[in-house]
Chains A and B, each alone.
Chain A
Amino acid sequence: MSEAKGHGARPADTAPADTAPADTAADRPPADEQARVEAAAAKTAGRRAKGPLPLPGGLARLVDSRHAGLVAALVLLAVIGLVTKPGNFATSDNLVSILSLAATIGVITVGMTFVIIGGGIDLSVGAVMALASVWATTVATQSYGPGVMALCAVLVGTGAGLVNGLLIAYGRMVPFIATLAMLVAARGLAQRMSDRRTQLVRPENDAIEALSTTRVLGLPLVVFIFAAVAAAGWVLLNRTTFGRRTFAVGGNPEAARLAGIDVRRHTLLLYALSGLCCGIAAIIIMARTTTGSSTHGDLYELDAIAAVIIGGTLLTGGRGTLVGSILGLFVFTLITNLFILNGLDTSDQLIAKGAIIVAAVLLQRRGLEART
């Protein structure tokens, strides 16, 4: 099963420093003595590991200590916004534009979080979203009305995800390679279908556009779509057997298999879920731009992966939170917004984002060391 899980393709991930700093040969006794050492350690150590089964409580546990750093970063960015552009930052227009910007990649990030916690990676998300947007805006599809357009986007996304999942789970391909192939092929197919032209959503299908123009409680509907996907994702990850198995499959696929979990079927479902999210994201991008295009979602995969990683999810799988991913996404979106408001170069923006990824991972590692 390890081929299907694809650890081989990401040798860097297996570096012990990333997962458990205490696991280096120097400060850990050999396996032989492990039992005795651990027995003694269990006796002496009075500290109680924080359990993943949280006690009943309110919102406090959503933003628990694991996310304190991200929340602090968000607050800091907001303060910077308020100081540098007091007149523009805190306006409702700007907040709406931040949330709309976050909605598209946000939905994709939800699916990506599942795939990465399950021990995989999905590079094809941006391309699959583009393909879904193109397929949903062809003349033929548009003739059936906005409902079928949305359904088409969701089906195309899920279908592409299923192909990814079949190749990885049953074809035993490394996730990196299978989804890389899908990235290239889906974008090619999108170009062919659209003849490399941007396809407009026709006026009679303006219900699609209405998703971003209609406002409820001052927020466009696409923001509610994102919120609904995020909430459903959180419940799925934290309150269902599917979510629990996702952690098991990503944390130790062999143990999951020997515990009677169908690891291959579960892997297939994870990629299908990611594809479904891409389909929903395609609806949002069609609503926001009123177009379907093969150029939509360029490099979204990197933004989504980066959001998941700075959100504290291990790239090796088995550990992570959806709340962290979404906070990570907002950190990125807020930076983009601040750079645009202040009229700064987008090149500097990219440099800042790169620095943040490195800083976030370094800080998380220190946090892990402090806890163990």
Chain B
Amino acid sequence: METTADGGPLLVMSGIVKEFPGVRALDGVDLAVRAGEVHCLLGQNGAGKSTLIKVLSGAHRPDAGEIRFAGRPVRPAGPTDAMRLGIATIYQELDLVDGLSVADNIFLGHEAARFGFTRRGQMNRAARRLLERLGHGEIPPTAEVGRLPAAGRQVVSMARALSHDARLIVMDEPSAALAHDEVANLFRIIRELTAAGVAVVYISHRLEEIREIGDRVTVLKDGRTVAVGLPADRTPTSQIVTLMTGRTVEYVFPPRPGPREDAPEVLRVEGLTLPGHFHDVSFTVRAGEIVGLAGLVGSGRSEILEAVYGARRPTAGRVLLDGRPVKGASTADAVRLGMGLAPEERKAQALLLEESVARNVSLAGLRRFSSLGWLDRRRELAEVAQQLKALDVRPHDPARKVRTLSGGNQQKVVLARWLLNRRRLLLLDEPTRGVDVGARAELYGLIRRLADEGIAVLLVSSEVPEVLGLADRVLVLREGRVIHQAPGAELDEEAVLNMITEGSAMGTVGTP
């Protein structure tokens, strides 16, 4: 306690090094967090944020460096150990057990018990007190966690942290799964926690949130600390972005010639509706055109793509490809008609990680190499190799396991799959997620090149600059509705961010 009394930091991590085979994820990171502050951790994907908090929570052992908590050197041996010290972590993917009740989840691992029998009444009462303290007395402690909405589950996670008397709570992208009004409640809870002397380490990609809730900012880049303790409200955005990227120009986008005047319309979507996801969505994509969907997670962007592709069945509206209505809802039909999807979760939804590059590329085009079901494997290999060369997949080895490729090259494998057969329409969901900055520019160039060859492209990205820089035309989505439509070149990032987060800027930007 003496550390908080004299104003010294509650947590000091210094010179933390963590190596994984082949890479230094952390290369001497420093972090100092005071009691009662919200300390924001910023950095691009791969900068080392997640590794750092896993070191702090005991999930990883650091190879070098020192952690001092409340003035004493500590070395958390695991999550339970860290909890006992008073360090709680709320992960991105909430680690709750769906089938158990709220109270059971809160006290998981430290149940109130006597002779091995749990004391339900006592736990339920304690759980209710914690939930009330978090302003959510309406959540019944006996409810099954699997039935709660995302915001409710997060409250349960926080109640669990409080049940350990945590003095430091790490929150990894807590707002990612929340709707706008739920974020406000999250902030209220964080303020109450910090007022009670709890320190919060807050990780988010949303700079505007950091301005609102943060006290100080530490920036990581490539496993190193590049700035410590910047004031969250006064540091200019440009400075933070420069620190994160290490340069002033963010991305390089290829020039946009745009579709030719006489380019035919490839995709027409009319009044597409799927309750709970999107409503009355209409748009068109012409051959050679890249149309971007900008919106937050949960705005319905991925679901629209999946509905066009036949992976979800809309309740109203229709999809036309080359003027002909796409009947039924099956991905097999979509592929036959000339569509291709690069899904959001590359590893979970697109790749056979244990299989070779060749088998991953040929998966959707097996018919091409077969007669009466018999595979011509020589032709398969030859055409895959040709495609890998065309897209410059590295290493250029069709027999290599896809798992061993970098994110950018894995994405190219997914694209190669579709380019093996001539495509009319490519649906790209977060094509640069998990792809490092250098490889991004290459992917941008590739996507533009495909459009120039006459393919219609529908692009979804949570990174607004990416949509604005790459797309010929941009649809802005909020809560499942298209609220704005404009050429990519005419929109600026701030206006779009405003629209997708609250829509307040509609008056100033103008509606179509």
A residues sitting closer than 8 Å to B (CB atoms) are: 25-45, 48-53, 239-242, 244-245, 247-248, 251-252, 254-262, 318-319
Given A37-B22, A319-B354, A259 contacting B50 (CB threshold 8 A): no
> Count of A-B contacts with CB under 8 A?
169
A241 & B367 in contact (Cβ 8 Å cutoff): yes
Residues of A within 8 A of B60 (CB): 26
Report the bound CA distance from A289 to B271 in whole Å. Answer: 66
Nearest B residue to A319, CB-CB: B354
Nearest A residue to B377, CB-CB: A53
B363 & A248 in contact (Cβ 8 Å cutoff): yes
Residues of A within 8 A of B341 (CB): 258
Q: Which of B25, B336, B374 contacts A260 (CB 8 A)?
A: B336
A41 & B404 in contact (Cβ 8 Å cutoff): yes
- Complex interface bits, B432-465 against A, C-beta within 8 A gives 1, otherwise 0: 0011100000000000000000000000000000
Q: Which of A33, A42, A245, A256 contacts B50 (CB 8 A)?
A: A33
**Can you list 23 A-B pairs, Cβ within 8 angstroms, ordered by A?**
A25-B54, A30-B51, A33-B23, A33-B48, A35-B407, A36-B436, A37-B22, A39-B406, A40-B22, A42-B395, A48-B397, A48-B400, A51-B399, A52-B359, A53-B381, A244-B363, A251-B354, A252-B349, A255-B349, A258-B309, A258-B311, A260-B364, A319-B354
Report the bound CA distance from A19 to B428 in whole Å. Answer: 30
Q: How far is the CB of A315 from chain B (nearest CB, A)?
A: 15
Q: How far is the CB of A177 from chain B (nearest CB, A)?
A: 18
B22 & A41 in contact (Cβ 8 Å cutoff): yes
Residues of A within 8 A of B216 (CB): none
B residues sitting closer than 8 Å to A (CB atoms) are: 20-23, 25, 45-46, 48-51, 54, 59-61, 309, 311, 330-332, 334-336, 341, 343, 348-356, 358-359, 362-364, 366-367, 370, 373-375, 377, 380-381, 395, 397-401, 403-409, 417, 434-436
Nearest A residue to B380, CB-CB: A53
A36 & B46 in contact (Cβ 8 Å cutoff): yes
Nearest A residue to B337, CB-CB: A260
B366 & A51 in contact (Cβ 8 Å cutoff): no
Given A26-B60, A38-B405, A248 contacting B45 (CB threshold 8 A): no
Report whether over half of chain A's contact residues are helix, strand or loop; otherwise say mixed: helix
Among B45, B335, B352, B409, the one with the most A-chain Cβ atoms within 10 Å of its Cβ is B352
Q: Which of A50, A247, A259 contacts B335 (CB 8 A)?
A: A259
Report the bound CA distance from A300 to B359 in whole Å. Answer: 34
Residues of B within 8 A of A261 (CB): 331-332, 363-364
A259 & B364 in contact (Cβ 8 Å cutoff): yes
Given A26-B59, A32-B49, A32-B51, A247 contacting B355 (CB threshold 8 A): yes
Given A29-B20, A35-B436, A244-B375, A51 contacting B45 (CB threshold 8 A): no
Among A34, A36, A43, the one with the most B-chain Cβ atoms within 10 Å of its Cβ is A36
Q: How far is the CB of A212 from chain B (nearest CB, A)?
A: 32
Residues of A within 8 A of B403 (CB): 38
Q: Which of A26, A259, A319 contacts B363 (CB 8 A)?
A: A259
Residues of A within 8 A of B375 (CB): 239-241, 244
Q: How far is the CB of A320 from chain B (nearest CB, A)?
A: 11
Q: How far is the CB of A151 from chain B (nearest CB, A)?
A: 24
A244 & B366 in contact (Cβ 8 Å cutoff): yes
Report the bound CA distance from A51 to B349 in whole Å. Answer: 22
Report the bound CA distance from A372 to B460 in whole Å. Answer: 35
Q: Which of A53, A256, A262, A318 contacts B354 (CB 8 A)?
A: A318
Q: Which of B330, B332, B367, B434 contacts A34 (CB 8 A)?
A: B434
